Amino acid sequence: MEYICEKCGKLVTEKYGSGRFCSRACANSRIHNEEQKLNISKGVIKHYKSINKPISSDEKICPICGKKYYTNNKTCSKECGQKYRIQITGIKEETRLKLSQQVQKRIKNGTHNGWKTRNIESYAEKFFKKVLENNNIKYEFNKPILKNDLDIKENGCYFLDFALSNKIDLEIDGKQHKIKERQEHDKIRDERLKNKGWKVYRIEWKSLPKNNEYIKEEINKFLEWYIKNK
């Protein structure tokens, strides 16, 4: 018996699942309406609870499209996830894929350990948390600022590495901030924040211990600047 995939139109002779699709990829990429998406989310929550696997049952709002969803993901869908990554990194999807391919090659030959997810704090972030705490500077880590609150007619938000008092944004820039697309994104981002009264201070991170003196000097510069601007 022959089956036609509802997603790609491919003709197959072997039945996959219900027979509506030719593969898991096509089955997973089909378009759902909002009611179907909500039912799927609730079904996933019910299943995870039955196997005692932690998952958020709280209603969330997608930072990209504003729709409600219930999973532990950052966004409601794969499409919004791609837009979210662009907002976070400032890197277009095409560029991100090229960089990812380069990284995969380096991982295979042992010259790269792979990217860390945003949910995992980098060493630089942990280091500067200690710096701020040791200097009795209160902060809000990874603070989201809605673009709508900056009078920008766009969905989504910017994330501040360390939001300090008096609307000070301390950013710790890794190597990714040297990419041209990221630099352009940072410039636009900082101008938008400054237009709403934020003061942005950026420190270029360099690995320790070989850059101990550089980091010490940057910390002292920042602390002097902070005292004047807090």
- What are the pLDDT digits (tens) for 132-185? 999 999 999 999 998 889 998 887 788 999 999 999 999 999 888 888 888 898
| Range picked from 37-46, 56-65, 160-169 for highest mean pLDDT | 160-169
Task: Please state, in angstroms and rounded to a whole number, the distance separating the CA atoms of residues 209 and 212.
Answer: 5
Structure tokens of 213?
């003196």
Q: Record the pTM.
A: 0.52
Q: Are residues 87 and 109 in the same domain?
A: yes
In this structure, are 127 and 223 located in the same domain?
yes
CB–CB of 177/185 below 8 Å?
no
Place of tokens 């920042």: 222
**Average pLDDT of the residues of the chain:** 78
Output the six-digit token pair for 102: 């380069």
CATH of the domain at 127: 3.40.960.10
Q: Which of 70, 99, 115 is the last residue of a domain?
A: 115
Record the tokens describing residue 43, joined without a space.
């079904």
Query: For the chain, how many structural domains are there in total?
Result: 3
Same structural domain, 96 and 193: no
Is the same domain home to 133 and 52?
A: no
For residue 54, give both structure tokens. 């932690």
Task: Place 104 in a pLDDT band, splitting at 50, 70 and 90.
Answer: low
Are 130 and 202 part of one and the same domain? yes
Residue whose tokens read 């009611």: 35
Domain range enclosing 63: 32-115
% of the chain surpassing 70 pLDDT: 63
Cis link prior to 54 (omega < 30° from 0)? no
Q: Are residues 20 and 48 in the same domain?
A: no
- Domain shared by 193 and 223, yes or no: yes
